[in-house]
Amino acid sequence: MASDVHPIVALDPTSHVVVVGAGLAGWRLVEALRRDGFTGRVTVIGDEPHHPYDRPPLSKQVLAGRMGAFDTGLARHDSPTDVDWRLGVAAVSLDVGSRTVGLADGTTITGTHVAIATGARARTITTSAGAQVHALRTRDDVVRLNDDVMGSSDQATVAVIGGGFIGAEVATSLRGRGLEVVVLEMLARPLVRVVGDDVSRWLEHLPGAVGVELRTSQTVLDVESAGSSLRVRLGGGDDVVASVVVAGVGAETNVDWLSGSGLTVDNGVVVDENLQAARGIAALGDVARFAWQGPVGPEVVRIEHWQVANDHATQLAHVWMTGTSAPTPLVPYFWSDQYGKKIQLLGHPNPHDEVVRVFADDAGRWLALYHRFGVVSGVVALSYPRGLMLAKPLLQVPTTIDRALERAPWTQ
Ligand SMILES: Cc1cc2nc3c(=O)[nH]c(=O)nc-3n(C[C@H](O)[C@H](O)[C@H](O)COP(=O)(O)OP(=O)(O)OC[C@H]3O[C@@H](n4cnc5c(N)ncnc54)[C@H](O)[C@@H]3O)c2cc1C
């Protein structure tokens, strides 16, 4: 799917940038604009009551009890302070022609530029237990989950619905606190839809190695109250009774407020290769579906990675400050800490791409290359960060799999 290319409207000192979404992408954009010398007005609108904070630690250090939920703030001592904050109030509309954002409290803010950085929210499942089934997306979510875990007995069992990245990290953190954890995965293997068949098979032994029970091919029919516990009713009939139930079943973009705006919204806000959605309006981070020049060819993608939100912010600041496209191509990067290991992925491979494992050692570390049409489309590693970073040049310019195997940069 090709996206239209919109004109870039460059910033000047009289410009007013309105950032909608006080998360990672929105905040990094503010930092990048100020770093690049923008002296005009900046307003940040956020529906959460908090200043921007980091999400990756929520399912890792915070849930593991090694970091406080309120120690995750993104502001540093040298962060910009000349920002007009509108926190705890949602944007509810956007008039594209005038770049006017309507807020839930009835007020409006008009900018010369609007950056849409409203990210995503946790997908929820509808069950009889309602809000007793936890999700994990926000700081408030982790505080609630933590309170529930603390309130349950030492012998508590936690049922995690969904064995994807968030589910696996929740399982790891709570297992590390001594709880019995059962992961209920709908598919035959966790992550198969993301990393493909081979790689998911190489990962499937990880939960068991740290004492987490993984049950695959499970259909959750309902979660219902069972005295002071919850009963997860499964299609196969072998129900799980748990003190705490967490659903990690994916995310949905926060785009409802844009309905009627006229912007193209299709699994995210559709933007061009400069992240522009319309004249003076851009989208970035988890909410953006962007035109990307990948190593195998042009694609339109939406990628929910921490590093992509950062890179988008740097890119958009460059585009708006200079009126020109950013020079460096984006190489998506993702990591996940699960079951005592670190999974890292570079690029945006398709789960159906071919994969070849090019390194493995006795410590269980390995590295593999994805390829499509004979060109390297991704690099995935288990607890081998050095090899992964050495392999990054394979994605910075299109590289054939034959050439990659010949050069073997991960061995240097
Ligand atoms: C628990 C957890 C762990 C993660 N771990 C990793 C990891 O290990 N590695 C990795 O690469 N990525 C990880 N991620 C993903 C990463 O955090 C996201 O890619 C990143 O947060 C995206 O930033 P964003 O600013 O685009 O969106 P968000 O972080 O979702 O921020 C968007 C903000 O906009 C607000 N908002 C939404 N709608 C409105 C509205 N109408 N008006 C005003 N404000 C609004 C939202 O409430 C939110 O505060 C993790 C995510 C979670 C939830």
Which residue's CA is minimally distant from atom 29 of ligand 1? 23
From 18, 51, 74, 306, give the residue whose CB has the most ligand 1 atoms within 8 Å, as the site to mutate. 306
Q: Cβ(115) to ligand 1 under 6 A?
A: no
For the chain, what are the domain ranges? 16-121+252-322, 124-249, 349-411
Structure tokens at 308: 């992509």
- In order along its 412 residues, the chain shows pLDDT tens digits of 445 689 999 999 999 999 999 999 999 999 999 999 999 999 999 999 999 999 999 999 999 999 999 999 999 888 888 999 999 999 999 999 999 999 999 999 999 999 999 999 999 999 999 999 999 999 999 999 999 999 887 678 999 999 999 999 999 999 999 999 999 999 999 999 999 999 999 999 999 999 999 999 999 999 999 988 999 999 988 999 999 999 999 999 999 999 999 999 999 999 999 999 999 999 999 999 999 999 999 999 999 999 999 999 999 999 999 999 988 889 999 999 999 999 999 999 999 999 999 999 999 999 999 999 999 999 999 999 999 999 999 999 999 999 999 999 999 8
Nearest Cα to Cα of residue 258 among 24, 101, 113, 106: 101
From 48, 58, 94, 254, give the residue whose CB has the most ligand 1 atoms within 8 Å, as the site to mutate. 254
Alpha-carbon dihedral angle through residues 159, 161, 165, 169, given to the nearest 10 degrees: -10
Q: Cβ(336) to ligand 1 under 6 A?
A: yes
CA triple 160-124-203, angle to 5 deg: 40
Which residue's CA is minimally distant from atom 3 of ligand 1? 56
Q: Cβ(269) to ligand 1 under 6 A?
A: no
16-121+252-322 matches 124-249 in fold: yes
pTM to 2 decimal places: 0.97
Q: Cβ(118) to ligand 1 under 6 A?
A: yes
Structure tokens at 153: 């007995």
Domain covering 16-121+252-322 in this structure, CATH number: 3.50.50.60
Q: Cβ(207) to ligand 1 under 6 A?
A: no
Domain covering 124-249 in this structure, CATH number: 3.50.50.60
Q: Cβ(359) to ligand 1 under 6 A?
A: no
Task: Give the distance (Å) from ligand 1 centre to CA of residue 55.
Answer: 6
